[in-house]
A and B are shown apart, each in its own frame.
Chain A
Amino acid sequence: MSIAATPAAAAILPGRGGIGGALSDAFWRNPKLLLFLMLTPPLLWLGVIYLGSLFALLLQSFFSIDEFSGLVVREFTLKTYGELLRPSNLDIIVRTVTMAGLVTIASAIIAFPIAYFAARYARGRWKAVFYLGVMLPLWSSYLVKVYAWKLILAKEGILTWVFEKLHLTFLIDGWLALPVVGGNSLSVSPTGTFLVFVYVWLPFMILPVQAALERVPGNLLEASADLGASPSQTFRNVLLPLALPGVIAGSIFTFSLTLGDYIIPQIIGTSHLFIGMAVYAHQGTAGNIPLAAAFTVVPVVIMGIYLWLAKRAGAFNAL
Chain B
Amino acid sequence: MRSDKQNRTPLGLKIAAGIGLAFLHLPILLIFLYAFTTEEKSYQFPPPGLTLKWFAVTWNRPDVWEALGLSVRVASISTVIALTLGTLCAAAISQTKFFGREAISLLVILPIALPGIITGISLRSAFNLAEIPFSFWTIVLGHATFCVVVVYNNAVARFRRMSGSLIEASMDLGADGFQTFRHVILPNIGTALLAGGMLAFALSFDEVIVTTFTAGQQATLPIWMLEELVRPRQRPVTNVVAMVVVLVTFLPILAAYYLTRDGDQISGQGK
Contact = CB atoms under 8 A, between A and B. Distances in A.
A250 interface: no
Contacts of A157: 43-45
A-B CB proximity, top 9 nearest: A260-B115, A113-B16, A24-B176, A53-B126, A117-B17, A148-B27, A57-B122, A24-B177, A154-B43
B249 A140 contact: yes
A23 to B, nearest CB: 7
B222 A143 contact: yes
A24 B178 contact: yes
Nearest to B9: A121
Given A144-B28, A257-B115, 16 more contacts: A24-B178, A35-B96, A42-B148, A49-B141, A57-B126, A60-B125, A114-B20, A139-B202, A144-B246, A148-B30, A222-B3, A260-B114, A260-B115, A262-B117, A279-B117, A289-B125
Given A132-B257, A147-B229, A283-B125, A50 B13 contact: no
Given A41-B85, A42-B88, A46-B107, A259 B230 contact: no
Contact of B27 (A24, A45, A47, A149): A149
Given A45-B144, A156-B43, A296-B117, A39 B20 contact: no
A128 B209 CA distance: 31
Interface in B1-32: 1-5, 7, 9-10, 13-14, 16-17, 20-21, 23-25, 27-28, 30-31
B126 A56 contact: yes
Contacts of A49: 123, 126, 141, 145
B121 interface: yes
A260 B117 contact: yes
Contacts of A117: 9, 13-14, 16-17
Contacts of B129: 56
Contacts of B42: 154, 156
Interface string B229-265: 1100000001000100110011001100100010010
Interface residues of B, number: 89
B31 A139 contact: no
Contact of A114 (B21, B34, B209): B21
A219 B34 contact: no
Nearest to B5: A123
A128 B245 CA distance: 23
B127 to A, nearest CB: 8
21 contacts: A24-B178, A43-B104, A46-B108, A46-B110, A49-B123, A49-B145, A50-B111, A56-B125, A132-B257, A136-B250, A140-B28, A144-B245, A158-B45, A218-B3, A257-B115, A260-B209, A279-B117, A283-B124, A289-B125, A296-B122, A303-B114
Contact of A140 (B116, B212, B246, B264): B246
Contact of B249 (A60, A141, A262, A303): A141
Given A144-B245, A144-B246, A293-B121, A20 B114 contact: no
B45 A156 contact: yes
A93 interface: no
Interface in A106-132: 110-111, 113-114, 116-118, 120-121, 123, 127-128, 130-132
Interface string A38-65: 1101110111011111101100100000
Given A42-B86, A276-B115, A151 B31 contact: yes
A137 B24 contact: yes
B20 to A, nearest CB: 4
A56 B27 contact: no
A146 interface: yes
B229 A143 contact: yes
Contact of A152 (B20, B27, B46, B206): B27
Contacts of B145: 45-46, 49-50
A312 B45 CA distance: 49
Contact of B20 (A60, A111, A145): A111
A13 B171 CA distance: 12
B178 A292 contact: no
